Structure 1
């Protein structure tokens, strides 16, 4: 049997061992707490950095957000290099007579567009063949409003480059068929890059679309330009502030989106127009007041004329 002294020594050793274990656990806990704190700090720093990386491009693209619509309009007027064919609000009118030579007593369909916009591409592929037939027959005028805000979804400033090319072609060709065919070619489902896809489109690829539209080689060769970029940025700042272009229904009510369409200057609510199940083409024809069998027939004019409101808005 162990002596009393031996038992006392063993008891003291067990107490010492237990204290050492407790101290080790406490030390490990402190280390884990410090590591956790460091991890949290690193995550916070990374989150802030990521937020800054995401915020900066949007912030830069929205430098004029504090401007009023009148101030944005004044800035647009002060741009030195502008498309010679564009009016003070950025519209370029096409008719069977040419550029800025409207046909009298027929509706004017205005389209606000961006070459990167997938919705614009879908709208074009659905509606533009019909609108082109109507334009060639003198049944409508078409007013184009190119924009370039879609650069935020491309990796090569596609919207700005494509819009510059379109504006140069309009200024130097002025053949409505060439202009509309170029737009159609750019919106071809197999050509238009998908938003955010990272796909790069070369200048030569876009030039090929212009050549296929009938634009002359000399105009195509000179169409790669950035001379309208400052004007396009001013348009991007001004146009979304125009309350008459804001969505009147749907998820984006109170905001301007593309494609936006007006008829004789009146906002055309695509959501409302298609509420009966019609596609965009059928809805547009109904809004203009013309049946599909009259499309492309000279002398058969839409019932709303050059001043009437879209008929769907009266339903």
Structure 2
């Protein structure tokens, strides 16, 4: 007999069978308890994982989606109007969630209204700008035309995750807000230094250097605005509006950049021929007024300029 045990040889057959059943029952009960315990541990672990996932997703969403914020001053139409002497038309900033206010124009005044919807990473926008910057500048400076520029962010996907289109449009909005009369100069510098698609584009330091080259009056405020992407929410909202809503005075939205309107009529000619754009502007201007109603305001000339500036 084993010390402390029971000599099974002295048990009857029925007793041994009953003892085996009892032992099996105990083993099954212990197994059941282990399984319950393991399930509790498993579900607890899954719960922690799910909580971590939910927290992670929430952090991602809140870090990438900001509530609507106020727009920049001098861009109440979602664009900035540059007039004679390259002076910007002043407007109050849009409040958060407020709809843009279309710029009032009077074609009969003889001043041609040119509107540009652009993405600063778009190579076609760069072609149009390089081709027509000089002659548009002459029209603006003489008072023959105003140019209203709407920065959009369509090509973020083509900047290797740096969101250059948004950052460049935000930088333009910062200049419009703090130093609007230097906007035309800064706009030109963005194209002169335009990066290629599928690159990271200019970093914030480079954008701030271009701001300095444009001769702005409030460099430190603009630098902070660029670093903080202060108007990122407005850029996204303005882009959504341009892509989904009819542009003011038209029945169509932006389908690609550049979208160029002259007195509300869409230009679809060459992006690399200054004569083609000039002729279109003169044609549209002529439709708006005739000799009897024309004012002494200089009319854009159809004569080609010399090598266009970028």
Deviation at 1:164, TM superposition (A): 0.8
Task: Mark the CA change 1:200 to 1:262 in structure 2 (over 3 Å): closer, same or farther.
Answer: closer
1:262 matched to which residue of 2? 261
Asked whether 1:130 is paired with 2:131, we answer no
Q: Distance in 2 between matches of 1:164 and 1:108?
A: 24
Q: Are 2:81 and 1:93 aligned?
A: yes
* TM-score between both structures, scaled by the size of structure 2: 0.58
Task: Report deviation, 1:279.
Answer: 4.1
Aligned residue for 1:15? none
Q: Distance in 1 between matches of 2:300 and 2:150?
A: 23
Residues 133-164 of structure 1: CA distance to partner in whole angstroms, max 9, x if unpaired?
Answer: 21011110000111012111002111111111
CA distance in 2, matches of 1:165, 1:184: 13
Q: Which residue of 1 aligns with 2:72?
A: 83
Q: 207-216 vs 162-171, which deviates more?
A: 207-216
- Name the counterpart of 2:183: 179
The structural deviation recorded for 1:116 is: 0.9
Is the 2:74–2:180 Cα contact (8 Å) retained in structure 1?
no
CA separation of 1:174 and 1:254: change in aligned 2, threshold 3 A: closer
- The answer to whether the 8 A contact 2:115-2:262 is kept is yes
Partner of 1:112: helix, strand, or coil? strand
Is 1:108 matched with 2:77?
no
Query: 1:194 Cα deviation (Å)?
Result: 0.9
User: Could you tell me which of 221, 224, 235 is aligned with 2:223?
Assistant: 221
8 Å CA contact retained: 2:80, 2:89: yes
Take 2:210 and 2:279, find their aligned partners in 1: how far apart are those partners? 32
Kindly state the Cα deviation for residue 215 of structure 1 after the two structures are TM-superposed: 1.5
Match of 1:289 in 2: 282
Larger radius of gyration: 2
Give the C-alpha shift of residue 255 in structure 1.
6.7
Find the aligned partners of 2:136 and 2:113 in 1 and give their Cα distance.
11
Unaligned runs of 5+ in 2: 1-60, 62-66, 91-104, 284-295, 302-310
Residue of structure 2 aligned with 1:192, choices 185, 191, 194: 194
The alignment of Structure 1 onto Structure 2 pairs a total of residues equal to 203
Q: 1:231 aligns with which of 220, 229, 234?
A: 234
1:140-155 matched pairs, under 5 angstroms: 140-155=145-160
Partner of 1:301: 299
Partner of 1:167: 173
- The Cα of 1:204 is off from its aligned counterpart by 1.2
Q: Matches of 1:213 and 1:139 in 2, distance apart?
A: 23
- Equivalent residue, structure 2, for 1:69: none
SS of the residue corresponding to residue 187 of structure 2 reads helix
SS of the residue aligned with 1:141?
strand
State whether structure 2 residue 163 is matched by structure 1 residue 157.
Answer: yes
CA distance in 2, matches of 1:93, 1:280: 24
Structure 2 Cα separation of the partners of residues 115 and 267 of structure 1: 20
TM-score computed with the length of structure 1 as normaliser: 0.57
1:219, distance to aligned residue in structure 2 (A): 4.4
- In structure 2, distance between residues paired with 1:255 and 1:199: 25
